[in-house]
Amino acid sequence: AGTPPGRKIYVHPRGRRTVLRAVPEVKRGPGKKANAGIRHVEEVVRDQGEWSVWEVDGEVDGLFCQNLSLFAKLFLDNKSVFFDVTGFTYFLLVYTPPARPPTGPPGDPPQPAVDTSDEKPVRPHIVGFFSKEKMSWDNNNLACILVFPPWQRKGLGALLMGVSYEISRREGVLGGPEKPISDLGRKGYRRFWGGEIARWLLGIGGIAGAFDSSEETLVDVSDCSRGTWIALDDCLITLREMGLLQDAGVGPGKKPEVSGAAVGDDGDGAMEDVGDAGEPEPVPDVPRVRLDKEAVRGWIAANGISLERVCDPHGFVEGYAMKQGSPEEEEYA
């Protein structure tokens, strides 16, 4: 009793979250009004308890999942699945308070011993969830997401989004949330996608040795999609909405990758095939855009984006969602 159904698949290792605090921005200068607006400042919140994610099968715990879906309908206008939950898996975001409250700040006199034999056991709290189709022909990694109102605006929605994409990466499925997305969900996803893409952009060229900021690296949207595991269309829309792209005219596109060559392979066999084929075909000219890393850093600062990964892949139970023969660990950009 008091334990969520299903099984625990993820524990947030660091026990901390990065949240945004709204603070008034003071305008220095002439004028009657001193406040120039509101700005958001990052603040790291350390939780005393444990954040975890539990996997629940809609076919095994059908009544629980039906009740959860009906409860979500109170806050989601476009929620349509209530009773036919057998084809869905639910992922619960659970907060477990500490077993005992802190004894007090350092330096305080020691507190007298308290008899805890009659204390009730700590009960975990379900604070949000997302659901996912077991079989999605559109490669959707999320069908419905909700953080309960008392726990909103604490960075927990981004944590659930990060978990959904990490599960997709482990399964080897490139996908995204089910469309259409609600207005509130779109706002959260734009921010999450923007942070993931910005982290990937800043990591380009910095893997092998020092990176000279004066050099240019040619990448395309497909590279961004593969590096972030965000669907190509979502990458394209997010890059446009970030407003950082500058027209660079027309120039040669990227050379097509050799079929069968995987990232990280030595490619000896593939190179031999290319050599035997004779002269490579010319690369056609395509419209190109330029994106500066300093502009990316400015966008991050202006939007209060944290580059800290919201979902730590090491927090999952060993081997969870790994396909047979897939690598246990994948390089992150």
Active site (catalytic) residues: 178
Place of tokens 């004894």: 103
- Torsions phi, psi for 56 (to 5 deg): -125, 130
Tell me the three state secondary structure of residue 141.
Answer: strand
Q: Which of 93, 198, 109 is nearest to 155 (CA)?
A: 93
The whole-angstrom separation of Cα 69 and Cα 93 is: 15
Identify whether the C-beta of residue 172 lies closer than 8 Å to the C-beta of residue 323.
yes
What lies within 8 Å, CB to CB, of 25 at 6+ separation is 35, 36, 37, 38, 39
DSSP lists the bridge partners of residue 63 as none
Q: Are strands 50-57 and 125-133 parallel, antiparallel or unpaired?
A: unpaired
Amino acid type, 305: I
The whole-angstrom separation of Cα 257 and Cα 273 is: 13
